[in-house]
Structure 1
Amino acid sequence: DAVADVHGVLRSVTFRTALWLRGIPVAKIEKGREEKKDFIRGGGREMKPLEHTVIRYCDVFRKLGFVFDDPAPAVRRAHPNPMGEKSGTWVGFAPFSAQQGKTYPEPLAREAVRLLSERHSRVFIHSGGGAEVEFAREMERVYPNVTALFGRVDMAGEIDLIANLDCVVSMDSLVMHLASLVATPVVSVWGATHPGLGFFGYGCNPRGILQADLECRPCSVFGNKPCRFGDYRCLFDVTPALIAERVSELVGK
């Protein structure tokens, strides 16, 4: 009956155009590329946050005649705990991303794990495979209360675990959004990107945002541009101590 293109990339444009030429109604996402360029040029300072991507998704369906309110943020609900009975405070740590500008540097990640493991009963490291899981399993060997999650739970299990955590530390990446779906508090670390560009976890508490005040950031929408200085100072300025303190604030310790 209709096509709602919420992706807006070459393959979806080709698909929707082919069907539009056959008389099928189509609607496409407005990504606000020029707005985002202006936001980056302005460094995000004293600038109104751009429309959230979730709302941009909703607007595509509204163009096709659907009538509905913006979604309410998630609320906490009981989920099964794939890691068994919980005791004390449990914290998740997701230092990885597909882009270097959004990945917490390894020396800092090691120190963050140490601090979090000292302060909280259990720490769970969210990761992919390869070098990421090697790091997570090394931390597991060093600290008895650290658990590497890769290979132990599937996606549904990971969401269930996140729903049972007291807080998650995440970059601008998947785990932040998974936590937003189950209303788990998030400390989000922003390097090359910026929460005002519309990709902040929907409904997350802005109090959890950690970002450096540098003239050079944000430098990209997706964190995929190399650092102009070569040192990713935007990430190094968000220290492990800052992360640990913000987690303690959010969990009330």
Structure 2
Amino acid sequence: MQSNSHHKILIIRFSSFGDITQCLSVIDKLKEKFKDCDIDWATRQEFKELISHHPNLTNVICLDRKSGLKGLFKMAFLIREQNYTHIYDAHNNFRSNLILTVAAFFKKMTILKRPTYRWKRFLLFKLRINKYKQPFSGQRDLLEPLLAWGINSESPNPPQVFYSRDHELQAKEKLKSVPETYITMAPSAAFFLKRWPKAYWKQLIEHCKDDFFVLLGGPDDQFIEDIIKDFPGRTLNLAGKCSLSENIPIIKGSKMLISNDTGLMHIAEQLGHPCVALMGPAPFGFPSRSTTKILQLDLKCRPCSKHGQGPCVNSKYHQCLVDILPEQVARLVIHGIN
């Protein structure tokens, strides 16, 4: 295929926050290969703002989760009308396959799907046989399928996540009571077993007496109030108070991010920003850049589940994160991740 001819390309990735953030690297890799191209993205409505500010993206096509099958067919026919030359299905699930079936019917286009490797997952989680390339890397897994189009799997240079001027101003307003130097924390995660113990976040703040901490998360992360209540004047809880894109300049302006295996960790990675990643039971969200310091334990039971949902089978419950001590993280805060 000719890399200097015009192409119209669609990326399909509906969710999640972390996976979409990692998948943003695909845009620049496509642009490097197909210089004169338009790149669109199909996703869920709630993730539009995370994607739409990328300078090499042309358009975002959104799916409302509440629209059901009718909305899915509406999106499929809209995509069909766009006459894409290439579609990269970076999700490869029922919804994306239905869309491809409709959009590609009697159409001439090149379709590429990200493999799901279900047989590898079965071997890993049921038989403890690991056939995945090591070390685990979420970005590499999203970029490697592009080899079929002559695109290498090296991550493009950061930043790969962007925000608007309005998001920057809104972030500054939320930080108006915060000193110029601060550290961001992301104590939450989609599943409990992916969370560093709540008491450890408190101990970390106690160890780092000269630092101010801004805590980020979602509206359901009420437990964060328990972390900060003993540290008035040294903490700010912004969990549930920021949009996805407002989190980006807040993390960018910090000294570093300390995070569980969650979407905010991938924001820091795609910014090329210093981050301490506390990696527990799940294998597929591992960061790739040298700006992220991974803390993990080599346990026979790891990884135990695809998303970190468990169950934990270790005789010492939650050992993969319980045995990463606050003192270890505090040393990285005080002396730097390098």
TM superposition score normalised by structure 2: 0.60
Per-residue CA deviations over 1:183-232 (Å, capped at 9, x if unaligned) read 211111111124xx4x32342435x1111222211212321221124721
Contact 2:304 2:311 in 1 (8 A): no
Whole-angstrom CA distance in 2 between matches of 1:98 and 1:91: 22
Whole-angstrom CA distance in 1 between matches of 2:300 and 2:242: 41
Percent pairwise identity: 21
Contact 2:192 2:309 in 1 (8 A): yes
Contact 1:90 1:166 in 2 (8 A): yes
Contact 1:103 1:171 in 2 (8 A): yes
Whole-angstrom CA distance in 2 between matches of 1:29 and 1:84: 43
What is the 5 A alignment of 1:29-44? 29-35=114-120, 41=128
Whole-angstrom CA distance in 1 between matches of 2:152 and 2:313: 43
Per-residue CA deviations over 1:91-135 (Å, capped at 9, x if unaligned) read 11112111122112223233233334x241x101111123x2x33
Change (3 A) 1:236 1:67: closer
**Aligned twin of 2:158:** 74
Contact 1:169 1:186 in 2 (8 A): yes
Partner of 1:18, secondary structure, is helix
Partner of 1:142, secondary structure, is coil
**Aligned twin of 1:27:** 112
**Aligned twin of 1:104:** 196
Q: Is 1:57–2:142 an aligned residue pair? A: yes
**Aligned twin of 2:278:** 189
Q: Which has the higher contact order (CA 8 A, sep 6+)?
A: 1
Whole-angstrom CA distance in 1 between matches of 2:195 and 2:130: 20
Contact 1:211 1:234 in 2 (8 A): yes
**Aligned twin of 1:135:** 223
Alpha-carbon offset, residue 54 of structure 1 = 2.6
Contact 2:201 2:227 in 1 (8 A): no
Change (3 A) 1:22 1:247: farther
Whole-angstrom CA distance in 1 between matches of 2:130 and 2:142: 25
Alpha-carbon offset, residue 90 of structure 1 = 1.6
Structure 1: 5+ residue runs without aligned partners?
A: none
Contact 1:101 1:193 in 2 (8 A): no
Structure 2: 5+ residue runs without aligned partners?
A: 1-83, 163-167
Contact 2:186 2:215 in 1 (8 A): yes
AA of the residue aligned to 1:233: Q
Whole-angstrom CA distance in 1 between matches of 2:130 and 2:151: 35
Change (3 A) 1:87 1:157: same
**Aligned twin of 1:217:** 302
AA of the residue aligned to 2:329: I
Whole-angstrom CA distance in 1 between matches of 2:183 and 2:199: 19
Whole-angstrom CA distance in 1 between matches of 2:124 and 2:331: 29
AA of the residue aligned to 1:145: R
Contact 2:198 2:227 in 1 (8 A): no
Of 236, 240, 243, which aligns to 1:147? 236
AA of the residue aligned to 1:169: I
Give 1 or 2 for the bigger CA radius of gyration: 2
Partner of 1:107, secondary structure, is helix
Whole-angstrom CA distance in 1 between matches of 2:189 and 2:267: 14
Whole-angstrom CA distance in 1 between matches of 2:190 and 2:269: 20
Per-residue CA deviations over 1:144-202 (Å, capped at 9, x if unaligned) read 210101244332221101111111111111111011122211111111124xx4x3234
Alpha-carbon offset, residue 140 of structure 1 = 3.7
Alpha-carbon offset, residue 85 of structure 1 = 8.7
Partner of 2:115, secondary structure, is coil
Contact 2:265 2:277 in 1 (8 A): yes
Whole-angstrom CA distance in 2 between matches of 1:24 and 1:48: 37
| Runs of 4+ that moved beyond 6 A | none
Change (3 A) 1:103 1:115: same
**Aligned twin of 2:38:** none
Contact 1:139 1:146 in 2 (8 A): no
Change (3 A) 1:95 1:240: same
Partner of 1:109, secondary structure, is helix
**Aligned twin of 2:55:** none
Whole-angstrom CA distance in 2 between matches of 1:192 and 1:12: 28
Contact 1:140 1:146 in 2 (8 A): yes
Partner of 1:13, secondary structure, is helix
